[in-house]
Structure 1
């Protein structure tokens, strides 16, 4: 838009670049490999941890408001009409804290991985939530994972961690096979660097 270019020129700041969500492979792109994370003890522990977290949060919320149920100068003396509001507040506190954790955990568990002749892609449902261009990408291979890093990669917030942003194919049965396909499309195996930091 002309107005946007003019505004950037006036302030002297570069125009902000918004990275659009990647599109599905088209006719000019060949799918070379597809896979999913292997189900195992790790997934079971993630689900168990989430249930324990939800239970702990619900208990903490109830303990927080329990002193006010007998009446206080702050809350007054609640009657039967206040019970639905109290329960709604407890459920709301649990959801506010637990919903992002649940969304991240389920996104990683439902991920589907794809290598094309151009990109490494992570799908959740019908949406691409992670993309790295293979040509020139740095790649590390672990016992059960392959990680890709390249400038301009796309990563949905549910897959971001505290470390550097990486496209991770996790809990793979044959990571060396996946790495060999990626190397054939221009990815470089490295022993250190951004992809190793995860």
Structure 2
């Protein structure tokens, strides 16, 4: 079965992994504020322990984060289990930076569409099994090929689009590709079937 970015999870996986921190697997619907309140710690404390958290309002299902733990004698404990294997979690900001670069000037719906194409590829047998693998696949996204993505700062709207998609939202009729016909005359894109149009992008499969 094709692995997907989002696992179907019935309960949180909580593992006490160190004397000063415990590892927590983010569940669908979690927010950093709720996690901090539940664990009686500050959001800033969690963020400072996790370099991949660049925006405290943007976390992902199956993302593993460290949480401050004052119990130095804590031992491993399982609080719940996953009912479906999830793929390796990519750096959360990479996804949002790709959407920022690819959908600059597009409405929120268009940014969601771009993010949805990435997720559709993760779920397709024709592409890598993780968002990071899809995004970094050779020759697929111009901002990655050119190196521009390295200098791109993700916008709040792009982060919102990514969060919408990883939570199961967004729909571009199964599209696996997108392009702007005003900026590209790709014969490959023109040969594909257009399944949706949002803003300046045609979505294809």
What TM-score does the superposition give when structure 1 sets the normalisation length? 0.23
Larger strand proportion of the pair? 1
TM-score when scaled to structure 2? 0.23
Normalized per residue, the structure richer in helix is: 1
